[in-house]
Amino acid sequence: MTTIRGACAHDCPDTCSWLVDIEDGTAKRLYGDPAHPFTRGGLCAKVNHYLDRVYHPDRVLHPLKRSGPKGSGQFQRVSWDEALADIASRWKSIPPEELLLYSLAGTQGLIQMASLDRRLFGSMGACGLERNICGEVAVAGLEVTQGHSWGIDPEDIVHSRYIVLWGTNTIVTNLHLWPFIQQARERGARLIVVDPVRTRTAEQADWHIPLKPASDGALALAMMHVWVRDGLVDLDYVRSHTEGYGELVEYLRSFPPAAVADVTGISADDIELFAREYAATRPSLLRPLIGIEHHRNGGTLFRTLAMLPILLGAWRERGGGLFRSSGSLQYSTLNTRKLWMPEVYKPGVRVLNMANLGNDLCSAEPPIRSLFVHSVNPMVTVPNRNRIRQGLLRDDLFTVVHDLFITETAAFADYVLPATSQIEHLDIVTSWGHHYLSFNHPAIAPRGEAVSNTELARRLARALGRAEPWLFDSDEDLLRQALDSDHPWLEGITYENLAARGYQKLAQPEDWRPYANGGFHTPAGKANLHPERIGPGEIVAADRDYPLQLITGKSLHFLNSSYGNMERHLRRSGPLFVEIHPADARSRNLEDGAAVKVANASGQLSAICRITDRVRQGVVSMPFGGAYAVNELTPEMPTDWGGGSGFYDAFVEVHP
């Protein structure tokens, strides 16, 4: 038996290091690396069964060509040569801007997520894509205030004494951060959760603040009002490292706690208490993740929240400040220009927003005539599912999907091409939840005729008659190109070292406090407190026909759309349910455990009714992910900045 080192590439902040035991070319066991400081030997409810995914009987192992009507899921096996020749000739027959590469982070490996595919489609002049349904809105908001969206090293959370999980369900979505939070609590930290839903994480908190959805900006402004009024602002820090404080103080006058109690659904007394505790307990850490960016006002919310640690000078101390994502920090150390080669892309091409896939497939001008999908499953994960289905059914749309399974999206394809799993290809995985780079050695040969994303790009380039050598770089070359950077934090981090050790932490200073002495990345080098692009933002209101706000957060047993085809995961998560407050259930004559219809103008779903005060009155919650089709009910609604998606500004009615 041999043991091979690898790393999980799911779109999740934890990026676990794993070990795979191999016997006679077959993977027998896959488990978390006990030595990795973040993984600590444990995986999660999903990836514990990763090998069931690798060896699943439904894996696509050969190229498949559609043999029935679109969407029927009927396919026949064809050879790679036949598939590639047909795809290439179809693509050559349409203008490049009518061909769309649609991908996200189904693998977030450095080269499998984005490398040769970008070079190929970019240099063809294919239609561009804004990949903005996860993180971009938060980044856009944080950047207005901080310049960069950087935060502290999450391992430093053990030094925090006041931890605010603001719109994040850590135990479900970011499990490997939890032991660090617990360690801080053992040392006396207090844990606050701000979330309209009493999640598993909220249940474990010292205090859960169940505000109304999207009202976070109003709450933050009232807290700042209290700090200014009571002299709790760190004026020394503010004077040295910010601009616009004077005007901000003026602006905050209109936001005493009593003025926002209605909007937020939180009493003025509770707001006062929260504000005073937060200011009095140091070091204090604000930990948001994605929850609040899935609202219309998501950018404004992040811009406004980012002011909290600044006014308190919380960045001064180790364990103080804000932590959302280490993704952009990690990428800033790498040579992404060399990897992605933006200089070979055709300039001036049209760029579409990935959140508007439904309407774009149905009505973009010029039309999308061919869609190439990898590492994303929009029929499950992108809003306005019924419209996407309508677009995918178009007879004149030529769709190619590269995935491990015939996903809900692949079922509509003209060709489904077999993709390798993470234990079948080479990569390095960056993380947006910690500061380690992780190496992933292939542990087994590709199953059947499956190919990795990079190998598929090489095959497509060859079939298209392209000859530029940079379209055929090997995986190892690509990884070396990305690491070819003189960033000081990559010192000692080489291909060889990573391959041998499995993971390495960025070579940052031991005590790294990004903004302890200011140094914000704005043009003036100061945090921007001007009361511009700030505030409660546009809070989308319910309408008469659909009065209940639908939140669709992540589920424990699914990783976004993935694992929705696996028996064990389906059994554990059960049939689709909707959680509704007892008062809302009573006025609708709903019964606990009964089947109900959840509907709005975009769609209608059957679900089991769960009557519970885990949700506030006026809010209902359904689980997102797996095979749950909740995006039938979500709107194609852009956010204020960053072009994201107001997934959680969906409104519905629930009928018996």
Ligand X SMILES: Nc1nc2c(c(=O)[nH]1)N[C@H]1C(S)=C(S)[C@@H](COP(=O)(O)OP(=O)(O)OC[C@H]3O[C@@H](n4cnc5c(=O)[nH]c(N)nc54)[C@H](O)[C@@H]3O)O[C@H]1N2
What letter would DSSP give residue 398?
E
State the binding string over 576-615 for ligand X (x if CB under 6 A, else -): ----------------------------------------
- CA dihedral sign, ordered 578, 584, 588, 593: positive
> Is 521 within 8 Å of 503 (Cβ atoms)?
no
- Using the minimum distance from each CB to ligand X, give the nearer residue, 17 or 562: 562
Query: Among 86, 634, 636, 643, which residue sits at the site for ligand X (rule: CB under 6 A)?
Result: 634
223-241 in b/e burial notation, b at 16+ Cβ within 10 A?
A: bbbbbbbeebbbeebbeeb
Q: Which does 157 bind (CB under 5 to 8 A by kind): Mo ion, ligand X, none?
A: none
Question: What is the CB neighbour count within 10 angstroms for residue 335?
Answer: 16
CB of 389 to ligand X, least distance (A): 15
Query: For helices 245-252 and 216-229, what crossing angle results, to 10°?
Result: 110
**137 to 196, contacts with ligand X by CB under 6 A?**
166-169, 172-174, 194-196
> Is 10 within 8 Å of 18 (Cβ atoms)?
no
In angstroms, the Cα distances linking 212 to 30, 67, 137, 269 are: 42, 49, 20, 16
Q: Which does 166 bind (CB under 5 to 8 A by kind): Mo ion, ligand X, none?
A: ligand X
Q: Does 112 bind ligand X (CB under 6 A)?
A: yes
**What size, in residues, is the chain?**
656
| Per-position DSSP letters for 323-378, written without gaps between them | -S-SHHHHHHHS-HHHHH-GGGSPTT--EEEGGGHHHHHHH-SSPP-EEEEES--H
CB of 9 to ligand X, least distance (A): 7
Q: Which does 75 bind (CB under 5 to 8 A by kind): ligand X, Mo ion, none?
A: none
In angstroms, the Cα distances linking 48 to 183, 453, 563, 570 are: 24, 24, 12, 15
CA distance 81 to 1: 36
Q: Which does 355 bind (CB under 5 to 8 A by kind): ligand X, Mo ion, none?
A: none
Query: Among 132, 160, 356, 377, which residue sits at the site for ligand X (rule: CB under 6 A)?
Result: 377
State the binding string over 534-573 for ligand X (x if CB under 6 A, else -): -----------------xxxxxx-xxxxx-----------
CA distance 352 to 128: 6
- Using the minimum distance from each CB to ligand X, give the nearer residue, 370 or 377: 377
Torsion of CA 482, 487, 490, 495, to 10 degrees: 30
User: Per the structure block, which two tokens stand in for 616?
Assistant: 């506030």
> Is 431 within 8 Å of 440 (Cβ atoms)?
no
Task: Please count the residues of this chain forming the interface with ligand X, following the rule CB under 6 A.
Answer: 60
CB of 223 to ligand X, least distance (A): 13
Helix (H), strand (E), coil (C) string for 121-136: HHHHCCEEEECCCCCH
**397 to 456, contacts with ligand X by CB under 6 A?**
402-405, 407, 419, 453
Q: Which residues bind Mo ion (CB under 5 A)?
A: 134
> 249 — alpha (psi -120 to 50), left (phi > 0) or beta?
alpha
State the binding string over 72-111 for ligand X (x if CB under 6 A, else -): --------------------------------xxxx----
Q: Which does 414 bind (CB under 5 to 8 A by kind): ligand X, Mo ion, none?
A: none
CB of 11 to Mo ion, least distance (A): 5
CB of 525 to ligand X, least distance (A): 30
Q: Does 376 bind ligand X (CB under 6 A)?
A: yes
CB of 431 to Mo ion, least distance (A): 13
Element (H, E) at 199: none
**316 to 375, contacts with ligand X by CB under 6 A?**
374-375
- Using the minimum distance from each CB to ligand X, give the nearer residue, 504 or 549: 549
Q: Does 381 bind ligand X (CB under 6 A)?
A: yes
Question: What is the CB neighbour count within 10 angstroms for residue 351?
Answer: 10
Q: Which does 297 bind (CB under 5 to 8 A by kind): Mo ion, ligand X, none?
A: none
- Which positions lie near ligand X, rule CB under 6 A? 11-12, 104-107, 112, 133-134, 166-169, 172-174, 194-197, 199, 213-214, 216, 289-292, 294-295, 374-377, 381, 402-405, 407, 419, 453, 551-556, 558-562, 624-625, 630-631, 634, 647-648
